[in-house]
Amino acid sequence: MGERLKKKVAIITGAASGIGAATAELFAREGAVVLVADRNAAGAEATARRISPGGEQARALRVDVYEEADVQAMIRAALDAWGRTDILVNNAGVGSDMDIRSFTPDEFDRVLGINLRGPLLCCKHALPAMLDAGRGAIVNVASISSTCGIPGQSIYGPSKGGLLQLTRQLAVEFADRHIRVNAVSPGTVETPLIGGPVHDSERLSDEHKWLRARHPIGRFGQPVEVAAAILFLASDEASFITGANLAVDGGYTAQ
């Protein structure tokens, strides 16, 4: 076990699978205790059990970040269990491929509700404990869609663009109180959001082939590769970094 997050308390949303689960497991290996939060209660429990079968280092909680009462309960659970909240990772998110010509208000509310309102609520309720402690780190999981126009992401892209601006706003607002707020922007990563691992080139959809060709590194990313970037930004190694957006995208946004 490492010590980069020794004795830190971390809350990670969307941690039942994909980037969130990989981040929770990596944080725990580096010494943190972790609250594994997700709408998928069974998945959150499975992640927590992998980390800590006895529950000493990880606990699971069903949380819908759209619901303020759920978010408040999440912060209370961390404080009741461990007395503080040092790190918040806003990873919970949903995708959408709805075209601007066919999107509905319900789809807008669903995507913006999870991808932007959710992190806003999580920050709102995590910040008081961080301010009381005199320090904290927040990492928002944005996307290459926050800075690039990508066909078919007329709703998803703006939701992540808003999250990136929230990152900058909070970074400036709370820097003098020792709260750091940063973002990571993954490229296409093999998570449930894209259907899981993509190994068979012959069976790739046309969309996946197009996306893979746009990544100069020649492949999609793995959840642990994004988790490593989140770990860095959450750790004291990034003590002079706030308001940053770290692209973890195989060169996508360098073009």
Q: What are the E-state strand segments in the chain? A: 9-13, 33-38, 58-62, 87-90, 136-141, 179-186, 245-248
The answer to whether residues 93 and 65 touch, using CB atoms and an 8 Å cutoff, is no
Q: Where does the pLDDT of residue 194 fall: very low under 50, low under 70, confident under 90, or very high at 90 and above? A: low
- On the question of pLDDT at 199 being above 70, the answer is no
Domain boundaries, the chain: 9-190+221-246
124-172 pLDDT per residue, tens: 999 999 999 999 999 999 999 999 888 888 899 999 999 999 999 999 9
pLDDT of residue 152: 83
- On the question of pLDDT at 195 being above 90, the answer is no
Task: Please list the helix, strand and coil fractions of the chain in percent, rounded to the nearest 5, in that order.
Answer: 50, 15, 35
Indicate the fold that domain 9-190+221-246 takes in CATH.
Rossmann fold (3.40.50)
In angstroms, how far is CA 46 from the centroid of its own chain?
18
Report for 95-99, 106-110, 151-155, 232-236: range of highest mean pLDDT: 232-236
pLDDT of residue 198: 58
pLDDT of residue 128: 98
DSSP-derived letter for residue 187 is -
What value does the mean pLDDT take over residues 80-100?
93
Annotated catalytic residues are 156
Give, in order, the Cα–Cα distances in Å from 130 to each of 75, 133, 177, 179. Answer: 11, 5, 9, 7
66-89 pLDDT per residue, tens: 999 999 999 999 999 999 999 999
Q: Say how many residues make up the chain.
A: 255
The answer to whether residues 50 and 23 touch, using CB atoms and an 8 Å cutoff, is no
pTM, full prediction: 0.93
The answer to whether residues 245 and 41 touch, using CB atoms and an 8 Å cutoff, is no
pLDDT of residue 243: 98
